[in-house]
Amino acid sequence: MRTTAVIVAAGSGTRFGRPKHRALLANIELWQRSVDAFVAAGTDQVVVVGDVPGGLPGGPRRRDSVAIGLAAVAPDTEWVLIHDAARPLVTAEVIARVVERSMVGDVDGVIPAVPVADTIKRVDGESVLETVDRSTLVSVQTPQAFRLSVLRDAHAADQLDATDDAAMVERLGGTVVQVMGDPMNFKITVPEDLVLADAHLRAAADRE
């Protein structure tokens, strides 16, 4: 089965304070860490979208950047893995779990997810309305794997925004399943996240 990774590394990094993908994490740029992880996992082709060496120019919204990447995917690709460059601590294990579940062949999409740790409440401004049952909720990560044809159909079907790719496939009625993600595969969103990622890598190096 031929798999291609599309790593999205565009966007303005509003919450980070600047575009974040060339920020250094233990001497390696964020986007490069994701590329290395997919190469190590044996992905056949890696397409990068964003203002990084070898990257395709990004689009205004995340889904537009994904569409630009999809257009560059080799036509004989069966499964495409969409990954946020902002998740530099992705491991070969998480990639393998997603790919192995895809290979079963019975679904359109596979996403890595982790349980929600905090209590979740519905609010309206200052008012707390209710406590939501978190046992049926998960936090969703990338890489998310899709049959290439299904994700292309989902992009063609509408122009609505989406915070992840699976949401677009779900809208089309596609079958999406979850596999275990990794708490350390968090997204670098604010500067403090980079400090946490750096601390994680230092601790891992000390254990070696």
Shortest separation between residue 185's beta carbon and ligand CTP, angstroms: 13
Shortest separation between residue 199's beta carbon and ligand CTP, angstroms: 20
Shortest separation between residue 156's beta carbon and ligand CTP, angstroms: 19
32, 85 Cβ separation under 8 angstroms: no
Per DSSP, the residues of 143-166 read -EEEEHHHHHHHHHH-----SSHH
Residue 191: cis peptide before it, omega within 30 degrees of 0: no
Count of Cβ atoms closer than 10 Å to residue 206 Cβ: 7
Nearer to ligand CTP, 42 or 60 (CB): 60
Identify the helix (H) or strand (E) that includes residue 191: helix 191-207
Residue of 49, 150, 194, 201 interacting with ligand CTP (CB under 6 A): 49
Residue numbers 107-146 binding ligand CTP by CB under 6 A: none
Nearer to ligand CTP, 195 or 207 (CB): 195
The reply to whether 48 sits near ligand CTP by the rule CB under 6 A is no
The reply to whether 159 sits near ligand CTP by the rule CB under 6 A is no
The reply to whether 6 sits near ligand CTP by the rule CB under 6 A is no
Residues 65-94, mask of contacts with ligand CTP (x by CB under 6 A): x------------------xxx--------
Sign of the CA dihedral with 22 first, then 27, 30, and 33 last = positive
- Spatial separation of the C-alpha atoms in residues 95 and 156, rounded to whole Å: 26
